[in-house]
Amino acid sequence: MSDLMTSANGRAVHRLLVLICLLALSGCGPTKVDVKGSFPQPLIEPLPLNLGVWYSPEFSSHEFSDDGSSRDEGSWVVKTGEAQVQMWDILLAGMFRRFEHMPIEPAPDTDNPVVDAILVPSVQELQYTIPTHTNTKIYEIWLRYHFKLVQMDGSPIAEWTMTSYGKTPTAFMQSNAAAVNLAAVVALRDAGANFATGFTRVPDVETWLAEKWDSPAATPLSADEEELP
């Protein structure tokens, strides 16, 4: 009987140790944040352009990660791709007379819909800073974008970079994940504002518009254009 009890106790201890190990491993996984937020439409007169946009798979599924090992902290995986597409769709739909997604990447002999130009955005770099004190939930995020504006066949019109910045506006957040999410949303909103105010000021874009309409920038839609279906 003693041997049976010892064997049963041993199995119970073994199962308990396995359970503890599984719980420990599950707790060691990265903190995952799927960025969610709301993005306003630009309050500007739409440019009289039919713009296409092509989001690469890398852009539409963009994420960044940090294992935190160098700082003896937990790791992070922050997914921004869905929020990126949401923000840029809202922005571009408000900035241009017509806006549509391209089915494939612009290239010679591709069957893209007829548009004036195609925008190809990409995230060139992302940096972020963490709180210096554990009880402070203020994160900062910097984004560097790279843009290409091309013809339907992929031939270049303009190419430029743009930065944006986001910071958690308050330390009084429910969680670090919420603070990271808000900093990312603020950075995306800043990117939208910078693009809306800077697009026609890009030298090659300005030259292209001047050649297209004999004007340094696109002119507002006429009343007849606004009534088009």
pLDDT digits (tens, 9 = 90+) for 118-129: 999 999 999 888
Residues forming beta bridges with residue 150, ordered by sequence position: 118, 156
Domain-located, residue 139: yes
* pLDDT tens digit sequence for 95-119: 999 999 998 888 887 766 789 999 9
> What pLDDT does 188 receive?
97
List the CATH number of the domain containing 38.
3.40.50.10610
Give how many domains the chain has, as a whole number.
1
- DSSP 8-state secondary structure symbol assigned to residue 147: E
Mean pLDDT, the chain, as a whole number?
80
> What pLDDT does 110 receive?
74
Domain-located, residue 132: yes
Domain-located, residue 151: yes
Q: Is 40 helix (H, G, I), strand (E, B) or coil?
A: coil
Q: Of 71 and 58, which is predicted with more confidence?
A: 58
Q: Which amino acid is at 199?
A: F
- Number of Cβ within a 10 Å radius of residue 211: 9
Structural domain for 64, as ranges: 31-223
Domain-located, residue 4: no
Domain-located, residue 167: yes
* pLDDT tens digit sequence for 140-183: 999 999 999 999 889 999 999 999 999 988 777 778 888 889 99
